[in-house]
Structure 1
Amino acid sequence: MKNLPGAACALVLLALLPACRQTSRETPSVAEIRAINLKQGNLTMCGPAEKQLGSATFETSCGGAVRANFNLGLALLHSFEYDEAEKVFASIIARQPDCAMAYWGVAMANYHPLWTPPTPVELAKGAKAAALAQRLPQQSAKETAFIEAIAAFYTNWEQADHRSRSIRFEKAMEHVYANFPSDKEAAVFYALALNASAAPTDKSFRQQRKAGAILAGLYPNEPNHPGIVHYLIHTYDYPELAALGLPAARKYAAVAPSSAHALHMPSHIFTRLGLWNDCIESNLAATASARCYAETAGIKGHWDEELHGLDYLAYAYLQQGNNRQALAQWRYLDTMQRVSPVNFKVAYAFAAVPARYVLENKQWAQAAQLPLRSKHLNWEQYPWQAAIVRFARSLGFSHLGHPDSARRELAELRRLHAALLAQKDTYKANQVQIQLHAATAWLRFAEGKPADALPLMQQAAALEAGTEKHPVTPCEVLPAQELLADMLLALKRPAPALQAYEADLQQHPNRFNGLYGAALAAEQAGNLEKARRYYQQLLDVARAPGANRPELAAARAFLAQQRTQAI
C-alpha cells in the first residue's frame, strides 16, 4: 500500500489561492473556485511502487510546469479513476487558476460516461467547472472545441435527461474529431462518446462498431494508451462482439496496474466469453486493489469498486459449480457494515450476489425468504436493485407452491416498475418488466396454467433479447431464455427446451445451468451424442477444486454409462 503524492509537487490546498496573482480579469476568483467544491488531497493509488497508468498526452496552453500533472489526470480519466483525476486537476487549478483545460478535466471527471448518470451534486459541479473553462481567454482552437463539447453535456442539466445530454456530448465530440482528425485524444474521446450514447436496443451495434474502428486504428501506434484499450473492452462488451475485445482485455491490466478498475475491466470480456478462470483472476486482483485503496485513502469501511468486483467474482465461481467460493463472497458481503460511496453499484451487489446464489442453485426456500439486506441502503432509492430480490422471492414462492405469497412479491415488482417509469428510467423499467413477465409466468405454471405461463415466458425472453444488460452486471440474475428452457423441460418438451438452452448459450457461453440444461434436454430428446458433448463441456468448465454441484455427479454418471455401453 502506498500513499502517492501528486506529480511535480504536493497538492496545494485551495486555501492558498489568495496568494495566486490573477493574470487577467477573466481569471476565476477564489470564491468562484471554492464554490466548485473540488476534491483535494494526495493522489491515492495501489499496485506498483511507481504508479503505472499507461501513457496519454494532451498539449495544452497551460504552463509547462503543470504538463506532467495534466497528462496524469488525463490517464486517470481514461481508467475511470474519477476522484483521483479530479484531485489532480484541482492541484493544477490551485497553481494556475487560469488553466482552462483543468476545469475541463473537472467537468469530465463528473460526467463518467458508461457508468451511472451523475448525481445533481456532480452535475452542478461539472456545470460550474465547464462555465469557468468557457470564460477563460487564450485557449487554442482545439481546447475551445473540447471545452465546448463537455459544456454541451451540462447545458440545461436541470431539465434535460441523461441520454439527451450524452447525445449532445457525442455530437459535439464528432465536431472535434472532424476538425482535428490527427489528434488522438479527439479520436479517443469521440469513441467514448459513441459508446456512451449508443442505444441499448440497437442490436446492429452501429455506434460501437464505429468506435471500435476508430480505436483499432489508433491501437498499433498507441499500445499503452489506457483509454484505447479500456474503451475497446467497453466497445465490444456484447456477446456478438466480445471475441474482438479479447486482445484488449489481455492487455489493459498490464497497461494500468495501478488502477483497480483496469484490473477488473478485462473480466467483462472474459465473462462474455465464458473464460471463468480469467474472470476470477481479474477480480481477485481488482478486489485486492480496491481494499488497498480504501485503507490508503482512509475510507471507513469498503470502497464501492470492491463490491462491483465481488459480484463478478461470485458469478464466475457459480459458473464453475464452485458453491463454496461463491458462498464465501456472499458471506464476506454480509460482514460489510460501511461502504463508501453508497451508490447504484453497491446496491446492485447487495441485491444480486445473494439472489444469484440461491437462484442458480434452485434453493427455492432460501429464495423465498431472501431479505433486502444492508442497513445503510435506502432501497427506495434503488428500485431496479430492490426488484432483483422481489423477483427471487416470487420465483421461490411459486416453485414452493405458495401462490398468494408469490402474488404479493409480484405486487411489489409492479410498484418498483411504476417507480422507474415515474423516474423516466426506461432501460431499468424494461429490465423489471422482463422480471414481471418471467415471475408471472412461473406463478401461472405453479397454478397449473401452462397455456398461460408459456406465452408470458416467451414474452420475457423476447424482450430480453431485444436489449442489452447493464455494464454493472456480469449477467442477468437469471437469463430469461434459460428460464424459458427450464419451463419447456418441465413441460416435458425436451426438443424445444434444447433449442432454448442453445440460444441461451449463444449469448452466455459456458453458463453452468445452460450447459447442464442443454445436456439434460438432449438426453431426454434421445440425442445422446449432443448430450454427451454438453455433459463433457460442463465437466470441463467445472474443473476447479471445490466444484461439487450434484449436476456434476449426474454428468459423470451419464458419461460413464455411455462408455460402458460402448464397450
Structure 2
Amino acid sequence: MKPHLSICYSIVCLVCILASVSCKKKNTAETNTAISELNLKRGEVITCGPPDREFGSLVFQTSCGDESENFNLALKLLHSFEYDEAEKVFASIIDRFPDCAMAYWGVAMSNFHPLWTPPTEAELKKGAKAIELAQTLSSKSKKEASYIAAIASFYKDWDTVEHRERCLRFEKAMEQVAADYPEDKEATIFYALALNAAADPSDKSFAKQKKAGAILQKMSPEESNHPGVIHYLIHTYDSPELATLALPAARKYASVAPSSAHALHMPSHIFTRLGLWEECIQSNRASVSSAQCYGEAAGIQGHWDEELHGLDYLMYAHLQKGENTLAKQQWDYLQTIQEVHPVNFKVAYAYAAIPARYVLENKRWQEAATLPMHPANFPWNEYPWQKAIIHFTRLLGAVHLENLASATTELNELNQIHQTLLKQKDAYKANQVLIQLKAGEAWIRFKEGKPAEALELMQLAADMEDKTEKHPVTPGEVIPARALEADLLMEMNQPAKALQAFEADFKKHPNRFNSLYSAGVAAQKAGNPEKATLYYKQLITHVTSPQTTRPEVKAVKQYLKMP
C-alpha cells in the first residue's frame, strides 16, 4: 500500500473508532436516561418470615451473566405476587447489568399483576417503556426475545385496546412460547397463568381454568416446591365447582413460601370456598401479622394494603363461626386505620365490605341503614363498585325498617353507580352492581305489597349472581343473592321454597352461619324435622367457640336438646 493511502486508511479507521466510541457513549447515555425515566422501585428486599427468605424453589437460565441467583429470587417473588419486591430485584439487576433484556421483562411482568385488577395508567406506562427498552437490546437469546414479545403483546396499544383483549393476546403469545420451548418449565407455568388471566368470569364451563389446571397438575409432582405451580393451582380452582381440587395446594403453599404475606393469605381462598372457617382464620391471622411487619419494615405511613385484605377474610370467617366478638374486633381495628398505602381497589373493598358484613350478617338494620363511609376523606368516587356496597347495605337496612323513602334514595344511588361503570366499560363490576340493584328493588317492591314482582326481581338477581364468579378480592358477596331470595320467601311464608333456595346457596357458599340456621328454621316450618336436625347439627359443628354470643346457637341447642 502506498504511504499516502496508508495514512488515509489510518485516518478513516481512527474516525470510525472515534465515531463508534461517541456512538456508544451516546447510546449509553440514552439508555441511562431511559432507565432513570422508568422510576424503578429500589431498595433492600423486605420479607417477614424465615430469615433465609423462603419463597420456594425454581431455576431459570438467562443471558444475564452471573445474575442467575438474583433473577431466580425475583422470579420467585413474582410468582407469589410480591410485585414491589420483585421489581426491586429486577431493578438491581438492571443497575449492574443494563443489557439484561429479561430484567426489563421482569419489570413489565411486575406491573401486570394479571389476576388482580387491571394495571393503573402509571403501571402501564412503566411496563410499556420497560419492554421497549428490552426490545432494543441485542444481548438476548431467541427464547428470551419470545418471552419479551409475549408480554409486549399485552402492553401494545394499552391506551386504546381494552384490558381483556390484551390478556387474550398474552395468553396466545405464551401458548406459542410454551409450544416452542417445551423443555422450559417457566414458559409452561406462565402459560397456565395467562390462561387464568384470560378466563371469562361468566364462563361456568371453566374451560380455560380446567386447561390451566391440567397443565399445573401434570407438573406438580416434579415441581412440588415451585411457588408458581402451587399458587396458580389455587387461583385456577378458586370456584365452588373446582375448589376441592386445590385443597392439597392450599394446605401446602404457606409452607413453601412462608416469607410471602400473600402466600400466607392465598390458601384461605380455598378454605373459604369449602367453608373451612378455622383454617381460613389461621391463614389470615398469619397473613395480617406478616403484612403488619412488612408495613413497618418498609416505612409505610399507616398500613399496607395487604393487611386490610386479610382483615376482610377474617371478618367473614369469624361471622360464619358465630364469633361476633372477634368479628367486631376486626371492624373496631379497621376504624383506627386512617391511612393505607398503596390506595387501591383492595383497600376500598375492605373499607366497604368489613362493616357491611357485620351489620348485614347480624341483621342490625338500624346500623345498616346509617352505615357511614369510612374514612370520610377516602377517594370513594374513584371506586364506584366498592362504594355501591355501602349504598346496598343502607338500602337493606332502610327497607327492613320500613323506611321506603330512604331505601329508594339508596336504590337511585346504585343506579347512578351502575351507569358510571357502564360508561367506564367495566362490564363485570357493572353487572355486580346490577345484581344489587335488582335485589334491592325486589325488597322495596315486597314492602310496597307487590310480592309477585318482588320475587321475580329477586330470582333474577340470584340467577345473575349464580352465572358470574366472585372477584378474587373478596371472600364472598357481602350477602349472597340466593340467600336473600330465601329470606324473602320466608317473609312470604313459603318455607318449603325457601329451604330449596338455601340448599341452592349451599352449593356456592357452604357452611354459612345464617344460611344453615335459616335452612333449619325453614325445614321446621315446612314440616321436615329430619332436615331441620341435619342443618342445625351442621351449624353446631362449625360453631365451636365458647365465645359465640349469637342467640341462634342457644335456640339450636335447645331444639337439639344439647347442654
Q: Same fold (TM over 0.5)?
A: yes
Distance 2:30 2:81 in 1: 27
Query: Secondary structure of the residue that 2:249 maps to in structure 1?
Result: helix
- For each residue in 1:497-528, what CA deviation from the matched residue of structure 2 results, as whole angstroms up to 9, or x when unmatched? 11100010111110111101111111111110
Alpha-carbon distance in 1 for matches of 2:73, 2:524 = 58
Residue 138 of structure 1 deviates from its aligned partner by 2.9
For 2:385 and 2:427, how far apart are their aligned partners in 1?
11
Match in the other structure for 1:517:
518
Within 2, Cα distance between the matches of 1:383 and 1:159?
Answer: 22
Q: Which residue of 2 aligns with 1:443?
A: 444
Mapped partners of 1:408, 1:25: distance in 2? 62
Name the structure 1 match of 2:308.
Answer: 307
Cα displacement (A) at 1:150: 0.4
CA offsets 1:156-176 (integer angstroms, 9 cap, x no match): 111111111111111110111
Say yes or no: does 1:107 pair with 2:111: no
* Segment drifting more, 473-482 vs 552-561: 552-561
Aligned length: 541
Structure 2 counterparts to residues 370-519 of structure 1, below 5 A: 370-519=371-520
- Aligned partner of 1:274 in structure 2 is 275
1:186 corresponds in structure 2 to 187
2:235 corresponds in structure 1 to: 234
The root-mean-square deviation of aligned C-alpha atoms, in Å, is 1.4
Amino acid at match of 2:343: V
| % identity of equivalent residues | 62
Q: Secondary structure at the match of 1:203?
A: coil
Contact 1:28 1:98 in 2 (8 A): no
Query: Which residue number corresponds to residue 262 of structure 1?
Result: 263
- Between the aligned partners of 1:26 and 1:236, the Cα distance in structure 2 is 47
For 2:358 and 2:434, the matched residues in 1 are separated by 22
The aligned counterpart of 1:73 is: 74
Inter-partner Cα distance in structure 1 for 2:49 and 2:220: 25
- Structure 2 residue aligned with 1:17: none
Under a length normalisation based on structure 2, what TM-score does the superposition of the two structures give?
Answer: 0.95
Tell me if structure 1 keeps the 8 A contact 2:301–2:341.
yes
Alignment counterpart, residue 50 of structure 2, candidates 48, 51, 54:
48
Provide structure 1 residue ranges, at least 5 long, that are not aligned to the other structure.
1-20
Query: What does residue range 161-176 of structure 1 map to in structure 2 within 5 Å?
Result: 161-176=162-177
Which SS does the other structure have where 2:477 is aligned? coil
Residues 294-353 of structure 1, C-alpha deviation per residue, up to 9 Å, x if partnerless? 000100110000000000000000000111000000000000121000100000000000
* Max Rg structure: 2
1:346 lines up with 2:347 in the alignment:
yes
Residues 100 and 139 in structure 2, CA contact (< 8 A), matched pair in contact too: no
- Per-residue CA distance 1:124-172 (angstroms, 9 max, x = gap): 0000001111111131121111000000000011111111111111111
8 Å CA contact 2:99–2:139 kept in 1: the answer is no
Tell me the TM-score normalized by structure 1. 0.94
Which residue of 16, 30, 33 corresponds with 1:31? 33
Residue identity in the other structure for 1:100: A
Deviation digits for residues 347-374 of structure 1, max 9, x if unmatched? 0000000000000111111100001111
Conserved? CA contact 2:87–2:107, under 8 Å: yes
The residue aligned with 1:6 is none
How far off is 1:442 after superposition?
0.6
Instruction: Say whether 1:556 aligns with 2:550.
Output: no
Aligned-residue offset at 1:545: 2.9
Shift of 1:382: 0.5
Distance, in Å, in 2 between the alignment partners of 1:188 and 1:51 is 22
Q: Structure 1: which amino acid aligns with 2:202? A: T
Distance 1:56 1:130 in 2: 24
TM-superposed CA distance for 1:33, in Å, is 0.5
State the SS of the aligned residue for 1:29.
Answer: helix
Deviation at 1:447, TM superposition (A): 1.5
Matches within 5 A, 1:6-17: none
CA drift of 1:27 comes to 9.1
What is the SS of the residue equivalent to 2:524? helix
State the AA in 2 paired with 1:48.
P
Q: C-alpha separation between the residues in 2 aligned to 1:217 and 1:25?
A: 46
Tell me if structure 1 keeps the 8 A contact 2:42–2:92: yes
In structure 2, the partner of 1:547 is 548
- Checking the alignment, whether the CA contact within 8 Å between 2:201 and 2:469 is kept in structure 1 is yes
- Residue 375 of structure 1: how far off its partner (Å): 3.4
For 1:236 and 1:278, how far apart are their aligned partners in 2? 18
The 2-side partners of 1:516 and 1:23 are apart by: 74
Q: State the Cα distance separating 1:80 from its structure 2 match.
A: 0.3
Q: Secondary structure at the match of 1:220?
A: coil
Distance 2:197 2:551 in 1: 42
**Letter paired with 2:552:** E
